[in-house]
Amino acid sequence: MAGASPPNEPPPEWDGIAYIKGELARRIMAPTREATFWLVLFLSIMAFGGLGIWFEALQYWRGPIDATSDAVLTAVVTFCPALVGTSAVQLICQDEAEKPLILFGILCAVFFVVVAAFLTFMPGLERHVAFLCAAVAYFGAIGVWWIANGLDPTLHDGVNKAAAIGGGIEKPLEGALTDFKH
């Protein structure tokens, strides 16, 4: 067997911490120069996915003086676990996902549900502190989505080199135009 360890040598140890650090770094850096990824992030996730937040914020800002910000906070608090939950499921279902990545997805989902519950049910929490926590949770949820989708080839701009595109441009074209009528 090529690449196998000699029978008397123990197999190399697998470092799960190094794996998760490397995998997260790879997923964070991979899409940074991909226009499609950024457009999907802004249009699909932040604009359409966050419509509830934007509608409630607009209603609050344009509303009467005595309007409360509870609806805006609720919209942000419900957006985050929904986005993180779907992103966690994506991480769990990916074919190449190893146990540390799967557990990272589960940990993120549980953490964001706890944060949402804390922001919703914590009595006496100052409004500005709640909004600061909600803003951090919002960008954290987008970060988890980023990690889950950073390697998704459908969100990358490049041409798939394995796709059949007809070969090089120096190759003469087949066929004839003799029967072409215009």
Determine if the pTM surpasses 0.85. Answer: no
Low-confidence ranges of the chain (pLDDT < 50): 1
Q: Which of 101, 74, 92, 86 is nearest to 16 (CA)?
A: 101
Identify the DSSP state of 175. Answer: S
Domain extent listing, the chain: 32-152
Question: Measured between alpha carbons, how far is 146 from 37 in angstroms, rounded to an integer?
Answer: 9
Dihedral (CA of 114, 116, 117, 118) sign:
positive
Question: Measured between alpha carbons, how far is 163 from 175 in angstroms, rounded to an integer?
Answer: 22
Q: For residue range 77-101, what is the model confidence (pLDDT) as tens digits?
A: 899 999 999 999 998 998 877 888 8
Contact 148, 90 (CB under 8 A): yes
Exposed/middle/buried for 53, CB within 10 Å: 0-12, 13-18, 19+?
buried
Question: Measured between alpha carbons, how far is 182 from 176 in angstroms, rounded to an integer?
Answer: 14
The number of beta carbons lying within 10 Å of the beta carbon of residue 113 is 14
Helix (H, G, I), strand (E, B) or coil at 96: coil
- What pLDDT score was predicted for residue 3? 54
- What pLDDT score was predicted for residue 108? 93
